[in-house]
Chains A and B, each alone.
Chain A
Amino acid sequence: MPAHSAATACSDKSPTFPSDTAGQVFRRPRRWMNQKGQLQPTGTEFEMIKLQDALRHAAERPDRVALVDGGRRITWSELADEIAKVAGGLAAVLPEGRPARAAFLCCNGWELVVTTAAFETLGVPITGLDFEASAEATADALEQLRPTVVVSSKLHRPLLIAAGWADREGVLQVHLHGVGEELAAPEPIVPNPQAGEPVAYSTLAAAQTAVTAPISQPYESFAVSYDAAGSPRLVIRRRSYEARRLAELVDEFAFDEDDTYLVTVPMYHASSPGWARVFFALGGTVVLGPYHDLAEMCRLITDEGVTATLMVPPVLSRLLAHPASAELRETSRLRFLLTGGQHLNRWIVNEAWDRFGPVLHHYYGSTETGLVTVLGPDELALSPCRSGRAMPGIGIAVLDGEHRPLPPGVRGRVAVASYQLMDAYGDAPAPSVLVDLGDGQGPRPFLLTGDDGVIDYEGRLELTGRTAGAVRARAAGDRDAAFFGLETELLDQPAVRDLAVLRVNVPDHGPVLAVPFVPVARDLEAAAYRAVSAVCARRTPWIPAHVIPVDAIPYSPTGTIRTGELLTEIMPLVNLYIHLDKQSATEIPA
């Protein structure tokens, strides 16, 4: 393969680092760099936020808000104080097992941020687990990680119990307070608590124990990546890249201590703490946002003066469609809106430009590779929605089946060379191959990703999809087969003018069929009701059906039933029927 024809995209714009003297100097000196543009040593490298970094920011701007969570606003001095207390408490109860590792299973919250920072202050890696995963996947992830401490909140503790990790011998359980829970009264701290005997956050924070030096163990950081089947894989890194990543991002996007970052992704996802710690490290403000409440998200963007955020495309799409986001162009300070993933549509790109101006950036990266490409708003408006340019210090190659570089314009498997790459999947080494790009540097290790892509003649990578293929779903055997014929038979009933069958999952109850129907005449409503109920009971006896007369079935212009509109109309009645059914069931003697 001629050197000039290999499809690679690699940025050589590297800043100067203590361990990397070959790159260029930063464009402008910054507060945490010396006059040569080198990173000032801070004792340890940047992670989420460590006590020493919090203390440094507290000394400079003690009253500046560091963290916002609902109605709670924590200044830098308060945050440093809280991290110190919790780190001291943790040091007193940390199990003796080594290597010390922590896992958490809880939603975003200020206590989680403080606890995470306390663990990192102690040199204990802490890893988030997906609380939407199954009990089997959670147990598998925990078995791979083998944590010595598990942090959980009440809401997600049932998952921990189902996974069999709520009372493991030698594993410390730390309980955080969930939303709406009252703070537990602090208790005297007891070293080496019994298995299954938890330590509450309030107890740790009240321990009044001095922070000890970080424990002595080799550096490791972990993340859990889930494959298409939902099986977890432990991603391991044995060198920290945070300092360099921070410097690259600041150099590229000019973030500083006046920035306010909104968190919209759960902390268990690697990108969420990854971006939050950029702004913590700079001494900025981090706002913990809700996952689903879009009106509240819009309010936070305006009221907290959010300047940067990361949203997955589905959330961004819903936000842009929400009426409350219409005013954000006038009211928000947002200047950096990052999104990434397969589900970015042109509508989102266009609408984001209309509502926020030129702020939308698209990234490509994964737990295994870290941040790989970013495309700014100008190019994104003109390029395919899944394009990106390599970040500084990152190399991209598109390879054929025999791991040879492909020329521009030809689709192949994406491979990445980066200082952010993982080292191993559990006990297995990372799937790397040596690739010679023909640039005179000889063969270099590239990590093979699970993605297909193509590099265009301008050096942009366009993702064309996952090598895992399309998402498949199937009807659940005989039950769905019966369900298929149900609607047809129902519409054949002579007293029914129109009808819809909706399968609804009712919280705390389970799935039910909601069957709104329009009778052909008012005086035939009772007959139609009886007929529809009888057909449902005969064809789908395993699922309770609630048959409800309505004036009309709403349709979209394409003839699709407007499910949301219909459910809004009938769900109060469905809920009433469910309630009455339960009531009558309890009243009838056995």
Chain B
Amino acid sequence: MTTPVPPHTPEDELEEADLEARLLLLERALTELPAARQTAILIGEIPDYGDLLLVAFVPADAEREESTQRAARAACARLVPVLPALVIPVDDIPYTLDGELCGQQLFDEMLPQIARDMLLPKEMSA
């Protein structure tokens, strides 16, 4: 496909439109992961931390969960370097019956893991 990848600017001062374009590229990259049954992207607003890029994925099997997480993390770093990213495997991604992502519900379900992933290293190193 000929859609160009936006250049990585060292300042990372991206306009909102550029961010959206990068998120779309990320979304496309994630859908192509061979061992992710489902993927979803959220921008989570965390108290005292600001925006956080959250990627939830349902691993196709436990053996390839780690490699899928590494691949997703790499895609986040490459395509959306402007936002800190957390890639979290989940058992399921909530959707409405007609297939719309239930973003807030997913966020609420991931919150304990987000807290664990974000806060533990920081507080342990403090």
Contact = CB atoms under 8 A, between A and B. Distances in A.
Given A385-B31, A488-B119, A502 B112 contact: yes
Nearest to A131: B97
B64 to A, nearest CB: 9
Nearest to A468: B20
A60 B41 CA distance: 52
Which of B31, B101, B104, B123 has the most chain A CB within a 10 Å cutoff?
Answer: B31
A488 B39 CA distance: 28
Interface size class, chain A: 35 or more
A506 B95 CA distance: 19
A474 B44 contact: yes
A552 interface: no
Contacts of A384: 1, 28, 31-32
Given A454-B1, A475-B44, A487 B119 contact: yes
A501 B110 CA distance: 11
A344 B58 CA distance: 13
Nearest to B54: A473
Contacts of A348: 37
A479 B20 CA distance: 30
B19 to A, nearest CB: 8
Contact of A481 (B40, B48, B112): B48
Contact of A314 (B27, B43, B45, B99): B99
Interface in A88-135: 130, 132
Interface in B83-104: 88-93, 95-101, 103-104
Nearest to B35: A347
Main secondary structure on chain B at its contact with chain A?
A: mixed
B99 A313 contact: yes
Given A312-B95, A558-B69, A560-B89, A484 B34 contact: no
Nearest to B41: A470
Which of A317, A409, A452, A470 has the most chain B CB within a 10 Å cutoff?
Answer: A470
A464 to B, nearest CB: 5
Contacts of B21: 411
Contacts of B10: none
A350 interface: yes
Interface of B: 1-3, 16, 20-21, 23-24, 27-28, 30-48, 54, 58-60, 62-63, 65-66, 69, 88-93, 95-101, 103-104, 106-109, 111-113, 115-116, 118-120, 123
Interface of A: 130, 132, 226, 265-266, 268-269, 291, 312-315, 317-318, 320-321, 341-348, 350-351, 384-386, 408-411, 452, 454, 456-457, 462, 464-465, 469-475, 477-478, 480-481, 483-488, 491, 500-503, 556-558, 560-564
21 contacts: A265-B98, A266-B97, A342-B27, A343-B39, A346-B33, A351-B60, A386-B28, A409-B3, A410-B2, A452-B24, A454-B2, A465-B23, A470-B43, A471-B101, A473-B54, A473-B106, A477-B47, A484-B119, A487-B115, A503-B111, A563-B90
